[in-house]
Structure formats: structure tokens, C-alpha cells
Amino acid sequence: MAGQRVAAVAELVENQATRVVLDGVPIAVVRDSAGTVHAIGDTCTHGEISLSEGFVEDETLECWAHGSQFSLVTGKPLNLPAYEPVPVFSVEIIDGDVYIDPSVPKETK
């Protein structure tokens, strides 16, 4: 993967989203309670709200404005009012640093 370094894993606060912008693409980066690092599109598909300002629980990120929850694994909304998924990006950890390629959303099921 030809990703860009965004942070050290140790810099990411557990169960809290961090907003990064790579090549003009806003991305929410999350280290969940299991220690897995996820990267999804940072814009809620319902209200154009930054998801990184929302709430993380397990493998979901909830939009603070209207309560839509998105899977950190698939990007799919888990409840209304959002019904369109957000993109999910591949994450690679190299020597304790997080790398993301914003040019290619990851295929999810």
C-alpha cells in the first residue's frame, strides 16, 4: 500500500475519532477499544457533519448531530436518518505509525 503517515498509533486516543485530511479527503481515524485502527470518510452522508466530532463505541462511530451510526468496518449506516455509506480506507501499521491511502476506498461487504 502506498499510504501517507497520519499519526503514531500511540497518539490516537482510544474510542475517539481524529480528523485528518489527506489529498483533500477528510478522514476519521479511530482506534477502537480492541486496539484496531480504522479509517472512514469523515462526512456524515445525512447532514454533511464531521463524524470525527461524534461518539465511538465498539466498531461504530455516531454522528453527534442526528444520531446516525456508521460501521467502522464497512462504512454502512446502522440506523436512520443516514442511509448511504461512507467510504472506508485501508490502514497499515508500520513501526507503530498509521498509514492510509486516501485515493482508494477499501472494498467492503
* DSSP three-state, residue 104: strand
What is the structure's pLDDT at 17? Answer: 98
Average confidence (pLDDT) over 78-105: 95
pLDDT reported for residue 109: 60
Q: Residue 1 — very low, low, confident or very high, per pLDDT cuts 50/70/90?
A: low
Q: Give me the mean pLDDT over the 19-25 stretch.
A: 97
Distances (CA, A) of 81 to 52, 68, 74: 18, 6, 17
In the prediction, which pLDDT does 105 show? 84
The whole-number average pLDDT for the span 67-94 is 97
| pLDDT higher than 80, residue 87 | yes
Entry pTM: 0.94
Average pLDDT, the chain: 95
pLDDT bracket for residue 19 (50, 70, 90): very high
> 104 pLDDT exceeds 80?
no
Distance (Å, rounded) from C-alpha 86 to C-alpha 92? 19
Expressed in percent and rounded to 5, the helix, strand and coil fractions of the chain are: 5, 50, 45
